[in-house]
Amino acid sequence: MSEIHNLVIVGSGPAGYTAAIYAARAQLSPIVYEGSVTAGGALMNTTEVENFPGFPDGVMGPDLMDNLRKQAEKFGAKLITDDIVEMKLDGEVKTLIDGSGNTLKAKAVILATGSAYKEIGLENEKRLSGRGVSWCATCDGFFFREKEVAVVGGGDSAIEEANFLTRFATKVTLIHRRDTLRASKIMADRAMANPKIEFLWNTEVIDVLGDANMSGLALKNTVDGTLSQRNFDGLFVAIGHVPRSELLGGQIDLDSEGYVKVEGRSTRTNQVGVFACGDLVDHTYRQAITAAGSGCQAALDAERFLAGH
Ligand code: NAP
């Protein structure tokens, strides 16, 4: 008989690592599947985090994740840099299969798979991905030295990307479908004061142009419907995220947008012994600190569940 673990945590980031810290300190010996390419989660692709409490001078996203990871390891969490590719979550013993083909059994599972970048949904956006179209300025900004780029979106992510890209690009045009930003005022003010950023309001990207590489965008004015084209060397898409719940369909109750449904203020899902936290359950707050807080809740819920069994 293969070993039955107390707890497997699927996903990392602030939610998964915090769950791991709490569960490890509770002597549950959690196994954490950090993800093969997404280990550390979205904060691995960011620069300075200014609003995580406890860091008055800010902290670099990857450093913060590295510290959380070390803290989890220090208390005995076993971290595995691989994906879970299949799960059977009903019944008393849950079965999980990882990307290397190993099968694990566990009494409890915490889901913390976070979210993925949302796409505009254009055929040429996909085709020219990596050839001008990107979702990550910190990863790809460097390739746009002395070039002109566009960022689409009106939230904090778009503003953050636009500000960051001004380090490399000669000009950054922020394209937003409305005339008001959704971003927080402090971030919006910073972008407005940046002479390298131009705002293109009430504008939708309707196509990405170019053969081998992206050469420009086809645009539509959302107020009067006017069509236009503009040359750009790059497009950074920063229009939000979608929950990474594709492995869960049919087993775990999801809402209409694909977020995991939890019971009241708890992290309990519809499957006994399965808990969910972080961006996977949260369409409202989606901050590093709220994800960490819900990771803590998930570990406490799992601990209580295991104590009762
Ligand atoms: P968001 O707040 O949901 O904003 C998404 C933006 O993209 C909105 O402006 C939205 O337009 C636009 N959009 C959505 N779908 C679109 C489409 N199909 N075509 C064109 N535009 C589209 O997402 P986010 O900016 O990724 O932020 C997510 C969360 O993370 C927020 O809570 C944010 O505060 C947080 N965050 C914080 C920081 C920070 O504090 N340093 C940095 C990044 C993110 P509408 O406005 O018209 O809906």
Q: Mean pLDDT, to the nearest integer, of 239-247?
A: 95
Pick left, alpha or beta for residue 132 (phi over 0 → left; psi -120 to 50 → alpha; otherwise beta): left
Residue 101 pLDDT more than 90?
Answer: yes
pLDDT at 160: 94
Give the whole-angstrom CA distance, residue 262 versus residue 280: 10
Distance 249 CA to ligand 1 centre (A): 25
Give the whole-angstrom CA distance, residue 70 versus residue 263: 31
Q: Mean pLDDT, to the nearest integer, of 183-197?
A: 96
The yes-or-no answer on residue 296 being catalytic is no
Q: What is the mean pLDDT of the chain?
A: 96
The yes-or-no answer on residue 98 being catalytic is no
Residue 294 pLDDT more than 90?
Answer: yes
Residue 1 pLDDT more than 60?
Answer: no
* Residues facing 221 on adjacent strands: 203
Q: Which of 66, 90, 136, 253 is catalytic?
A: 136
Q: Mean pLDDT, to the nearest integer, of 247-265?
A: 95
Q: Mean pLDDT, to the nearest integer, of 250-276?
A: 97
Residue 86 pLDDT more than 90?
Answer: yes
- Contact (Cβ atoms closer than 8 angstroms) between residue 64 and residue 52: yes
Residue 53 pLDDT more than 60?
Answer: yes
The yes-or-no answer on residue 139 being catalytic is yes
pLDDT at 288: 94
* Token pair 């953050």: residue: 160
pLDDT at 283: 87
Give the whole-angstrom CA distance, residue 43 versus residue 155: 16
pLDDT at 185: 96
Ligand 1 atom showing the smallest separation from residue 158 Cα: 25
- Of residues 98 and 50, the one with the higher pLDDT is 98
Asked whether 48 lines ligand 1 (CB < 6 A), one says no
Q: Mean pLDDT, to the nearest integer, of 70-77?
A: 98
Asked whether 235 lines ligand 1 (CB < 6 A), one says no
pLDDT at 228: 98
pLDDT at 290: 96
pLDDT category of residue 307 using cuts at 50, 70 and 90: very high
Rg value, the chain, Cα: 21
**Alpha-carbon dihedral sign for residues 266, 272, 277, 283:** negative
pLDDT at 217: 98
Asked whether 51 lines ligand 1 (CB < 6 A), one says yes
pLDDT at 38: 86
* Token pair 């005339």: residue: 179
pLDDT at 286: 87
Nearest Cα to 278, choosing from 268, 263, 293?
Answer: 293
pTM for the complete prediction?
0.84
Asked whether 153 lines ligand 1 (CB < 6 A), one says yes
- Contact (Cβ atoms closer than 8 angstroms) between residue 293 and residue 284: no
Nearest Cα to 97, choosing from 10, 7, 6, 1?
Answer: 10
CA angle 14, 158, 126 (to 5 degrees): 90
pLDDT at 108: 98
Question: Which residue's CA is the closest to the ligand 1 atom numbered 31?
Answer: 286
Q: Mean pLDDT, to the nearest integer, of 66-92?
A: 97
pLDDT in tens, 133-175: 999 998 899 999 999 999 999 999 999 999 999 999 999 999 9
pLDDT category of residue 46 using cuts at 50, 70 and 90: confident
Asked whether 154 lines ligand 1 (CB < 6 A), one says yes
pLDDT at 64: 97
Q: Mean pLDDT, to the nearest integer, of 271-284?
A: 96
Q: Where are the alpha helices (DSSP H) in the chain?
A: 13-25, 61-74, 123-127, 137-140, 156-165, 185-192, 288-307
Question: Which residue's CA is the closest to the ligand 1 atom numbered 16?
Answer: 239
